[in-house]
Structure 1
Amino acid sequence: MTPFTLTQLRYFAAVAEADSMTAAARELMITQSALSTAMSQLEKALGVQLFMRQGTRALRLTAAGAQFVRDLTVFLEHADSLYEAAQGLAKSPVGVLSVGVFGPLASVRLPLILDELERRYPGLEVTIHESDLADQQDALRSGRCEIALTYGLGLARGFTAQALQRIPPHVIVSREHRLARRPERPVHLRALEDDPLILLDLPHSREYYESLFRLVGVTPNVRHRLVGYETVRSFVARGHGYALLNQRLQHDLTYTGDSVVPIQIADELPPIELMLVRPSDVRPTRRALAFEEVCRTLYGET
């Protein structure tokens, strides 16, 4: 028999989240003395120090405590799944699902996914972690997210990835650009070599776009490096340059009220894969599997 209880573990998770015994006690609606006693008993049972006390209120996790939080997150998720199954809820997942999403995908894909999730699984609550591609992997490793909707660029080992779509790159120019007169005609990147480039300068995205130019032997004339997808589109619409992007919107308007003109690329260039990614060493919860099911329904090509 383990020398600690599930309640103590949940108390520890709350304290680790709040970095404060007082705040956690308030959240759990128990007295601070009862919570402090539970944490002392848990540390004694484990034989390790989980917290460094800083003053009278603040706490900081030790290295052992931080590792225990990562392991505990998965354990508590499995405990919740076990409870759901015992209550006959196996086909209707409930609880909180933390989803990571690559920033440029969030506004285009996520609202439709959440609409369908709410329709199918009304007891499922979703929290969103929106960031760049590199941070998505860190969030999955640390347990901040269970699953991520992202691109497969720079994907490290230790992840299970499921491809949904292959999205080819395209060029966007302003309506006043010379190529906008024949938008139906695909363009070779060499035809834009002397034009100023507005580069989407995000980790892994940047390397991908730069690799496309290398493949066709072109050195781009980079004018601006921007981290916002809509910022790039707005700069292009105002005539500051052209851009390479993958994700295409349902309209050509930008935040400035101007429009961009999308043009296909004549060169044979590798597409980006839209993927569902999760840690390979963690069994997915029913919540994560429900999210995968909805994404496959909406965006799966196979």
Structure 2
Amino acid sequence: MEWKQIVGFYHVARLGSFTRAAGVIFKTQSALTQQIKALEGELGFPLFERIGKRKLRLTSAGEKFFAFAEAILSKYDSLMEELAELKGLPIGRLRIAAPFTTLYHLFPEVLKEYVKQFPQVELTVLDRSQQNVIELVKNGEVDFGLALESAVPKELTKIRWKKVEAVLLAPAGHPLAGINRVTLKQIARYPLILPPKTSEYTGRIKLEELFRELGINYRIIMESSNVELSSLYVETGLGISFATIVKGMPALKQRNLEYISLGHILEPGYIAVVMRKDKVLSAFKSAFINTLLDSF
């Protein structure tokens, strides 16, 4: 068994395609196919089965070998990072994924401080939806993700970072702004701007459940997956919206909006740092988490 066979197999399994994997490891598809055939011959088991013309699926033996390949490649990366640190060079890769709003409002100063401490780290930051962030962490494609704690599955490790509170976004001077504890019946009098109705946006699901339980009719005038876009249209007077925000965030003051607390209706949550339970952290990766937590 050769190292290049393990690497080739891992990328085919991860990407579900010989063509895409060949592009990643800079080999021809035919050369990669021969490597996998040789590996299967040595192991005595097929590792893939084809579903139709294009789709690949791991066999039982393939699943076991994928777990082995994933573990050994992770240990290799950690070893190379540790050896670099022994030389006094914190050289390695740090991959992070987070939703746009988190990256836009909460991350710039954190990254600025981290890059200043570790300029030789190869940093990659991905703007992704919360659901996609969790999948990237699960698949080992990023070291850390940032997502709402309530959305993180049990098989992943989560570290609380910042508390978020549910608020109603309304135009400045809106009638609801003068009410101490706004009710759902009062909210339903106005057109609503809500996120798409998917499992990723648990706040909308909870709100609609409450509306139904109370028998309250409501009207959705717009769907938006981006709080910045929702805020823009709230400012124009199109409707009112909901958001989970970090209280006191400086950027909030730049908007011509009212932020009306919904803490009596929806419980507060937390943004969490997410990683795999089997993740081995080198010193410069641990330092990133420390920088993040110190910012709070």
Q: Same fold (TM over 0.5)?
A: yes
**2:189 is the alignment partner of 1:189:** no
Counterparts of residues 6-17 of structure 1 (less than 5 Å)? 6-13=3-10
Task: Give structure 2 stretches of 5+ with no counterpart.
Answer: none
Name the residue aligned to 1:293.
290
Shift in Å, 1:236: 0.8
**What residue is the counterpart of 1:211 in the other structure?**
206
C-alpha RMSD of matched pairs (Å): 4.0
Task: Judge conservation of contact 1:78–1:285 (CA < 8 Å) in 2.
Answer: no
CA distance in 2, matches of 1:152, 1:137: 11
Task: Say which of 84, 96, 101 aligns to 2:98.
Answer: 101
Q: Which residue of 1 aligns with 2:194?
A: 199
- 2:191–2:218 Cα contact (<8 Å) kept: yes
Is contact 2:85–2:91 with CA below 8 Å preserved after alignment? no
Distance 1:24 1:196, change over 3 A: closer
The residue type paired with residue 283 of structure 1 is: K
Matched, 1:245 2:243: yes
Contact between 1:8 and 1:39, CA under 8 Å: does it hold in 2?
Answer: yes
Q: Which of residues 221, 227, 230 is equivalent to 2:228?
A: 230
Is 1:82 aligned with 2:79?
Answer: yes
Query: For the structure 1 residues 152 and 218, does the alpha-carbon distance in structure 2 shift closer, same or farther, using more than 3 Å as the test?
Result: farther
C-alpha distance 222-160 of structure 1, shift in aligned 2 (>3 A)? farther
What SS is found at the alignment partner of 2:106?
Answer: helix
Q: CA deviation at 1:203?
A: 4.0
TM-score, normalization by structure 2: 0.75
Spell out, residue by residue over 1:27-59, the C-alpha distance to the aligned partner (whole angstroms, 9 max, x if none).
6567877755544433333333345689xxx89
Q: Residue type matched to 2:172 in 1?
A: R
The SS at the match of 1:235 is: helix
In structure 2, C-alpha distance between the alignment counterparts of 1:265 and 1:23, rounded to whole Å? 47
Q: Retained in 1: the 8 A contact 2:78–2:280?
A: no
The CA deviation at 1:212 is 5.7
Q: Is the 8 A contact 1:202 1:227 kept in 2?
A: no
- Candidates 163, 167, 186, aligned match of 2:164: 167
CA distance in 2, matches of 1:245, 1:266: 12
Measure, in 2, the Cα distance between the counterparts of 1:15 and 1:266: 47
| 1:43-98 Cα shifts (integer Å, max 9, x gaps) | 333333345689xxx89464454664455234212112223323444876433333
What is the DSSP-based 3-state SS (H/G/I as helix, E as strand, rest coil) of the residue aligned with 1:150?
strand
Aligned to 2:279: 283
Task: Tell me which residue corresponds to 1:116.
Answer: 113
User: SS in structure 1 opposite 2:107?
Assistant: helix
Q: Distance in 1 between matches of 2:88 and 2:150?
A: 33
Verify: 1:127 aligned to 2:124, yes or no: yes
Whole-Å Cα distance in 2 between the matches of residues 271 and 19 of structure 1?
A: 39
| Cα displacement string for residues 169-216 of structure 1 (whole angstroms, at most 9, x for unaligned residues) | 222111352345x5xx75423442322221123645643345368399
* TM-score computed with the length of structure 1 as normaliser: 0.74
The answer on whether the counterparts of 1:77 and 1:285 sit within 8 Å (CA) in structure 2 is: no
Aligned partner of 2:258 in structure 1 is 261
Aligned pairs, number: 288
